[in-house]
Structure 1
């Protein structure tokens, strides 16, 4: 149309982005590469192990572990959506990424990050039902309900993240240098021309639906869990109830703590280097910690791991 020519004269079309990452700091590069590679391998190995153990052991075929294996699968996908790419590009002076790949990477990691936010909220609800209504737990959280909840989580995250990005294209005014090592949404939105509808809508979705809403839901669940646990008479039962929640609470605190800090603090046009460090913590360390937190604190999973190891020796 007539508008196309107008826009083309103003801006050069952005066809690729340059990812700065740590290319300006060669002394950091080697350490960064080594660290990230270890994180990635451990994340994939640890989470795969959890999925295998839960599948193999029929005692672990309960809602809590069904959601936990969803979380592990999610963590494998999330880290795979950006870590191998960053590792491959690590030592280049000017790592570039095509416009389409950058968009795909941003969309996929946003989608998986949102799914994790919602999944952690469902896991809190599961613990709440288990503790406040133990006798009807299996009825309330039937297999069908769990499946519907899981599908609902993935589907709503998809609608909240992928749809706005696909529906509303953003415009970049010739700015194509991303001060980050991955096409992370905030780093990318800093380059968008004006306040395009996309950045406003995505900002709204992140700042209401995916962080504060599920987080508030988790808080309410936990306040009610604590109230229910305090009503339990026996100390042993109290401790057991708290320990099944402890793992989940640890994961929630780390994940939401860093995410809320990253996404709800006032944004400046410059991305400071500390953003990259926080992103590593939130994007690489948390997915790696999940299996650790859940296995170290959990007798059932430890038992199942022993059985799996023992079974291998016998056969």
Structure 2
């Protein structure tokens, strides 16, 4: 009979990038710069939208919500990574590990559904431009902004609780944060119910919002192609181009990390792209590729130059 070394786990060890010891200083500097820039950039987007009355529209409310989400998303993993890169103590308590697991995955699901809400807003604006202001009123806008958070933090609770009740045959997590796959890989056995729940949640987390986004974009593109003037087509596409790029980056990196076969030593670098680099890039996409934001920035610069 096969025997397992089953012990009561008080905590885990996050191995992080210890197998790339010679590059840890470089990884630390890059992760720190990415984190600081991401937090500052997304905070700047929120402050900019809040202080500019012309941007007080549903689309920019969702962008502000998305920026706040990105700050929390990157803060759920990168600070612990930075600490582990400069310290020999790579321990993480059981409670802290599963809190990180729950918060990180909840924020990830929230982002999936918030991206779906944002494309619904653009779909409504393009498909029904005259009725849009009446339909997308403040009440509906606030409900749609809150809904992804309720779905995200509700849907991840069950697999988190079940995973926390598993018996673990090891304590070393070959990753820089606590996630379902590395934790479940250390379990002595995985009950069928957890496999079913995890698979079902993964479908609801990623596939459902992706299908929603894809469906809305098919309708948007179909509608835009019917517009006769090139200027009208360009204006319609410009309203959702930033969202399309952000959604592509998010789903592209997430798919690479979670769908590809596991076990490669570079998986952690791919996960770093998903958890840190994407939130770092998003503020630049929403500022440099957004016509309204560039217009407001131009006015601010002109005012400053006139005062001088």
Report the TM-score when normalising by structure 2: 0.92
Q: Partner of 2:168: helix, strand, or coil? A: coil
Does the C-alpha gap of structure 1 residues 200 and 237 become closer, same or farther in structure 2, counting only changes over 3 Å?
Answer: same
The match for 2:70 is 75
What is the alpha-carbon distance in structure 2 between the residues aligned to residue 221 and residue 237 of structure 1?
19
What is the alpha-carbon distance in structure 2 between the residues aligned to residue 243 and residue 191 of structure 1?
47
Q: Pick the aligned partner of 1:238 from 230, 233, 242.
A: 233
Does the C-alpha gap of structure 1 residues 169 and 85 become closer, same or farther in structure 2, counting only changes over 3 Å?
Answer: closer
What is the alpha-carbon distance in structure 1 between the residues aligned to residue 174 and residue 300 of structure 2?
45
Q: Does the CA contact (< 8 Å) of 2:101 and 2:179 recur in 1? A: yes
The match for 2:259 is 264
Q: Does the CA contact (< 8 Å) of 1:170 and 1:192 recur in 2? A: no
Q: Does the CA contact (< 8 Å) of 1:23 and 1:92 recur in 2? A: no
Q: Partner of 1:186: helix, strand, or coil? A: helix
State which drifts further: 257-266 or 302-311.
302-311
Q: Does the CA contact (< 8 Å) of 2:28 and 2:82 recur in 1? A: yes
What is the alpha-carbon distance in structure 1 between the residues aligned to residue 264 and residue 86 of structure 2?
21
Cα deviation for residue 265 of structure 1 reads 3.5
The match for 1:5 is none
Q: How does 1:15-30 map to 2 (within 5 A)?
A: 15-30=10-25
What is the alpha-carbon distance in structure 2 between the residues aligned to residue 39 and residue 184 of structure 1?
21
Q: How does 1:249-260 map to 2 (within 5 A)?
A: 249-260=244-255
Q: Pick the aligned partner of 1:284 from 267, 276, 284.
A: 276
The match for 1:112 is 107
The match for 1:128 is 123
The match for 1:183 is 178
Q: Partner of 1:18: helix, strand, or coil? A: strand
Does the C-alpha gap of structure 1 residues 95 and 124 become closer, same or farther in structure 2, counting only changes over 3 Å?
Answer: same
Kindly provide the CA deviation profile for residues 119-175 of structure 1, in whole angstroms up to 9, marking residues without a partner as x. Answer: 001111111111111111111211111111111111011110124423664313331
Q: Does the CA contact (< 8 Å) of 1:53 and 1:304 recur in 2? A: no
Q: Does the CA contact (< 8 Å) of 1:107 and 1:162 recur in 2? A: yes
State which drifts further: 82-91 or 111-120.
82-91
Kindly provide the CA deviation profile for residues 229-261 of structure 1, in whole angstroms up to 9, marking residues without a partner as x. Answer: 011121111101112211111111110112123
Cα deviation for residue 293 of structure 1 reads 0.7
Cα deviation for residue 309 of structure 1 reads 6.4
Does the C-alpha gap of structure 1 residues 104 and 60 become closer, same or farther in structure 2, counting only changes over 3 Å?
Answer: same
1:248 matches 2:243 = yes
Q: Partner of 2:18: helix, strand, or coil? A: coil
Cα deviation for residue 195 of structure 1 reads 1.7
Kindly provide the CA deviation profile for residues 50-92 of structure 1, in whole angstroms up to 9, marking residues without a partner as x. Answer: 0011111111111111111110000000111111111011133
The match for 1:202 is 198
Does the C-alpha gap of structure 1 residues 91 and 203 become closer, same or farther in structure 2, counting only changes over 3 Å?
Answer: farther
How many residues matched? 303
RMSD: 2.1
- Which 4+ residue blocks in structure 1 deviate beyond 4 angstroms? 306-314
What is the alpha-carbon distance in structure 2 between the residues aligned to residue 200 and residue 312 of structure 1?
59
The match for 1:297 is 289
Q: Does the CA contact (< 8 Å) of 2:16 and 2:176 recur in 1? A: yes
Q: How does 1:150-161 map to 2 (within 5 A)?
A: 150-161=145-156
